[in-house]
């Protein structure tokens, strides 16, 4: 069977699995009213987030291999009759890695602060994991006579929860660096804390524009706002430009993505780890404690993808046709079907954004430390402030959000035009029309003449 | 998309803004990713001749092997005669020339009174022929020194695996392998009334293994 067919088949299988799980969690939440939001907590956080995060550990190795024209991990096999000769995309390596981490020696360095040394992985993992609580994965549906929300918590302070908890994660890294009794680990911890502080400010400012635009700090309300259309071209089948954050706040998106990327400590900003020169704040950790740091990094990737999806890419909303779809027959009578589909849409967006983060990690070289600081303080922070002022002024001038959408679209168009402009308009080449296309024959002839 | 080194990045607005160049870089990696994700991998071991959509150039070693060049020096073998005994006549040339002194030979002698035809054309044979493969430096001098074409390094095997050091000391049963070799100049072929072997045209240095 051709490889492309296998890949597409696997993708379709994954989509159906996601849709089935989403339907299951709606059914569970509707059938167990006394359980509160326990089904959502279990399925969304323990199943979805943890499974995606642990699969990302393999995906990082496999996708980076594909980006670098390698094959990647494919040696771990399952010793069963039909599976023996199949690498299964490297997924069995997950079990191999987990077993290795569980059975490795749990090493604590001499004169390390034992309590803090053991506390640090928990502090690194916990807050990151808790971040996902405010992300709505699917719409709130009326099932069996009561509202079933598909979000774990809807606190009044909304997005502020994100800032508060995300900044707690730095305690894990800096404590790990300090308590290891290791100079390199301490260096990594110090780098982590200063980088986090630098990007915390930009992270906060980058979302202020969205809060102004939708005049709320709660994620579900922001999602309701993004479900509207700025310009709707067709009545029956609703088609138009949705009020997604990426169209309203492209600058905010870039700032948020950059700042949150710095918070995840992944490659363009992986100074705290610094694989090549200092091993990083977790240099002394082994076994599952190191595994906690590693899995928390990937949970951060998933959570960042989820937050970006919810705030800037319309969350679980389809870009068009959602209201039309809700009026169609199988969905109008059984809303859980629509909920499962919209939840799948959310997870598709999350997976695409996870892929984007991994692609960024394998595309860009690391910044120097001073470049990180100057990017954070001199570029992102002023840009964030400017974005807040411009957004505020535009929303005051035009509360229908069309004005900031126009500005946002112009910004996107400028970046797209600059990106698409080819290298052939290069000034040096235009300046020398005589030797515009020096082909190989002419070059060899010229060199021969020079030698003769 | 080769990078133009004559371009000054400080004067380029795309480099200054940084974002467009990031997107272009992502486009490069994405193209590689998609080609390698959906593309069929060509498993031709000659990597330069691969035609598949996938850009992967890996040769997956145990399953796919690059053929060795003709002069490759692999593990030794004692070349058998057509009757299965080693061609070696225990002349000690290889053991003498070996710079690592890894060859140990004990010679035996045919009884001149033996009525077998062999004993009238060959005087000696090895009773013990041992190569310590751990000491061997794979220089190939033994192959060059052998006057009887009795030791070769054409097994294309390398890095054999053993659990003990003793396992690397190869004796005659381990060394005597591969296709047998016969030359018209061999004494048992020069006997009265013997016919020249069919592969005479390949004399004297051609490999018998590929007629």
Is A111 at the interface with chain B, CB within 8 A? no
How many Cβ atoms from other residues are within 10 Å of residue A431's Cβ? 8
Calculate the alpha carbon distances from A268 to A68, A261, A361, A368 in Å.
17, 8, 6, 9
Looking at residue B88, which CATH number applies to its domain? 3.30.70.3270
Residue B18 falls inside a structural domain: yes
Domain residue limits at B104? 77-195
- B51 and B81: one domain? no
Joined tokens for residue A121: 């992985």
- B105 and B181: one domain? yes
pLDDT at A449 > cutoff 80: no
Say what the ipTM of the complex is.
0.85
pLDDT of A45-56, one tens digit each?
888 999 999 999
Joined tokens for residue A274: 């610094």
pLDDT at A2 > cutoff 90: no
Residue B5 falls inside a structural domain: yes
pLDDT of A129-141, one tens digit each?
888 899 999 898 8
Residue B72 falls inside a structural domain: no
Domain boundaries of chain A, sorted by first residue: 17-72+110-421, 73-103
Q: What are B129's strand-pairing partners?
A: B105
Residue B145 falls inside a structural domain: yes
How many Cβ atoms from other residues are within 10 Å of residue A303's Cβ? 27
Residue B48 falls inside a structural domain: yes
Residue B160 falls inside a structural domain: yes
- B109 and B61: one domain? no
Is B43 at the interface with chain A, CB within 8 A? no
Residues composing chain B: 211
> Does A363 contact B19 at a Cβ distance shorter than 8 Å?
no
Residue A275 CA to chain centroid, in angstroms? Answer: 22
Does residue A155 or residue B183 have the better pLDDT? A155
Chain B CB contacts of A428 below 8 Å: 4, 6-7
Chain B CB contacts of A63 below 8 Å: 33
At residue A435 the predicted structure's pLDDT band, cuts being 50, 70 and 90, is very low
pLDDT of B83-102, one tens digit each?
888 999 999 999 999 999 99
Phi, psi of A319 (to 5 degrees): -65, -30
Joined tokens for residue A288: 């599952």
- Shortest distance, CA B156 to any CA of chain A (angstroms): 25
**CA–CA separation, A246 vs A253, rounded Å?**
6
Percent of chain A clearing pLDDT 70 (strictly above): 93
DSSP labels, A127-158: HHHHGGGG---EEEEEETTEEEEESS---TTT
Position B196 scores a pLDDT of 56
- Shortest distance, CA B53 to any CA of chain A (angstroms): 11
Cα dihedral B113, B118, B122, B128 sign: negative
pLDDT of A257-311, one tens digit each?
999 888 888 878 888 887 777 777 888 888 888 898 889 999 999 999 999 999 9
Position A195 scores a pLDDT of 87
Residue B176 falls inside a structural domain: yes
pLDDT of B164-178, one tens digit each?
999 999 999 999 998
Count interface pairs A-B at CB distance under 8 A: 72
Chain B CB contacts of A423 below 8 Å: 1, 4, 7
How many Cβ atoms from other residues are within 10 Å of residue B196's Cβ? 12
- B88 and B132: one domain? yes
At residue A398 the predicted structure's pLDDT band, cuts being 50, 70 and 90, is confident
**CA–CA separation, B108 vs B122, rounded Å?**
11
pLDDT of B30-60, one tens digit each?
999 999 999 888 888 888 888 888 888 888 8
- B126 and B169: one domain? yes
- B42 and B85: one domain? no
Is B116 at the interface with chain A, CB within 8 A? no
Position A56 scores a pLDDT of 93
- B89 and B57: one domain? no
Chain B CB contacts of A254 below 8 Å: 19
Residue A339 parent element (H or E): helix A335-361
- B57 and B97: one domain? no
- B52 and B120: one domain? no
- B105 and B152: one domain? yes
Residue B210 falls inside a structural domain: no
Domain count across chain B: 2
At residue A438 the predicted structure's pLDDT band, cuts being 50, 70 and 90, is very low
How many Cβ atoms from other residues are within 10 Å of residue B65's Cβ? 11
* Contact present, A324 and A331 (Cβ < 8 Å): no
* Contact present, B141 and B129 (Cβ < 8 Å): no
- B52 and B90: one domain? no
Angle in degrees, 0-180, between the axes of helices A3-31 and B19-38, rounded to the nearest 10: 100
pLDDT of A344-396, one tens digit each?
999 999 999 999 999 999 998 888 888 888 888 998 999 999 999 999 999 99
Q: Which residue has the tokens 């302070």?
A: A157
């Amino acid at each position: 069977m051709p490889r492309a067919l296998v890949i597409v088949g696997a993708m379709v299988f994954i989509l159906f699995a996601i849709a089935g799980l989403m339907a299951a969690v709606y059914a569970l939440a509707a059938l167990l009213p006394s359980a509160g939001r326990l089904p959502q907590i279990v399925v969304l956080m323990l199943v979805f987030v943890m499974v995606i995060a642990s699969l990302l550990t393999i995906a990082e190795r496999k996708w980076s291999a594909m980006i670098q024209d390698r094959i990647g991990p494919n040696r771990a096999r399952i010793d069963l009759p039909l599976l023996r000769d199949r690498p299964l995309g490297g997924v069995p390596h997950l079990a191999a890695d987990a077993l290795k981490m569980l059975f490795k020696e749990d090493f604590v360095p001499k004169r390390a602060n034992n309590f803090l040394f053991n506390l640090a992985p928990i502090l690194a993992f916990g807050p990151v994991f808790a971040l996902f609580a405010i992300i709505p994965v699917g719409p709130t549906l009326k099932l069996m006579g009561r509202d079933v929300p598909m979000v774990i918590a809807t606190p009044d302070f909304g997005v502020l929860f994100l800032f508060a908890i995300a900044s707690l994660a730095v305690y894990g890294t800096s404590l790990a660096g300090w308590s290891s009794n290791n100079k390199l680990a301490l260096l990594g911890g110090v780098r982590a804390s200063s980088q986090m502080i630098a990007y915390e400010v930009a992270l906060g400012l980058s979302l202020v524009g969205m809060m102004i635009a939708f005049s709320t700090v709660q994620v579900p309300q922001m999602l309701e706002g993004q479900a509207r259309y700025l310009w709707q071209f067709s009545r029956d089948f609703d088609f138009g430009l949705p009020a997604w954050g990426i169209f309203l706040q492209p600058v905010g998106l870039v700032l948020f993505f950059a700042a949150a990327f710095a918070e995840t400590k992944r490659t363009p900003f992986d100074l705290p780890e610094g694989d090549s020169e200092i091993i990083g704040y977790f240099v002394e950790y082994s076994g599952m404690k190191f595994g906690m740091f590693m899995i928390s990094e990937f949970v951060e990737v998933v959570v960042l993808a989820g937050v970006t999806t919810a705030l800037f890419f319309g969350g679980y909303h389809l870009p068009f046709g959602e209201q039309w779809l809700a009026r169609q027959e199988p969905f109008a009578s059984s809303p859980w079907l629509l909920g499962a589909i919209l939840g799948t849409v959310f997870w598709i967006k999350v997976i695409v954004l996870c892929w984007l983060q991994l692609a960024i990690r394998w595309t860009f070289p690391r910044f120097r430390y001073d470049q990180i600081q100057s990017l954070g303080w001199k570029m992102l922070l002023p840009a964030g402030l400017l974005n807040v002022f411009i957004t505020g002024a535009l929303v005051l001038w035009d509360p229908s959000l069309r004005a900031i959408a126009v500005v946002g679209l112009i910004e996107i168009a400028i970046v797209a035009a600059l990106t698409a402009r080819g290298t052939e308009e290069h000034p040096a080449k235009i300046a020398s029309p005589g030797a515009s296309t020096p082909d190989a024959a002419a070059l060899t002839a010229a060199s021969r003449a020079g030698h003769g | 998309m080769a990078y133009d080194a004559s371009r000054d990045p400080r004067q380029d607005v795309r480099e200054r803004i940084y974002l467009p160049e990031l997107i272009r870089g992502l486009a490069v990696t994405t193209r590689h990713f998609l080609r390698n994700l959906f593309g069929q991998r060509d498993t031709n071991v000659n990597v330069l001749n691969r035609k598949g959509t996938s850009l992967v150039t890996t040769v997956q070693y145990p399953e796919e092997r690059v053929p060795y060049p003709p002069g490759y020096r692999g593990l030794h073998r004692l070349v058998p005669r057509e009757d299965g005994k080693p061609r070696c006549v225990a002349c000690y040339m290889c053991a003498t020339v070996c710079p690592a002194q890894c060859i140990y030979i004990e010679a035996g002698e045919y009884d001149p009174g033996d009525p077998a035809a062999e004993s009238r054309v060959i005087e000696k044979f090895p009773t013990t022929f041992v190569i310590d493969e751990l000491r061997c430096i794979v220089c190939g001098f033994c192959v060059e020194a052998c006057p009887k074409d009795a030791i070769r390094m054409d097994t294309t095997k390398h890095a054999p695996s053993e659990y003990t050091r003793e396992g690397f000391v190869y004796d005659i049963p381990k060394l005597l392998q591969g296709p047998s070799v016969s030359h018209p100049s061999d004494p048992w072929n020069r006997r009265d009334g013997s016919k020249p072997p069919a592969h005479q045209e390949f004399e004297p240095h051609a490999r018998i293994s590929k007629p």
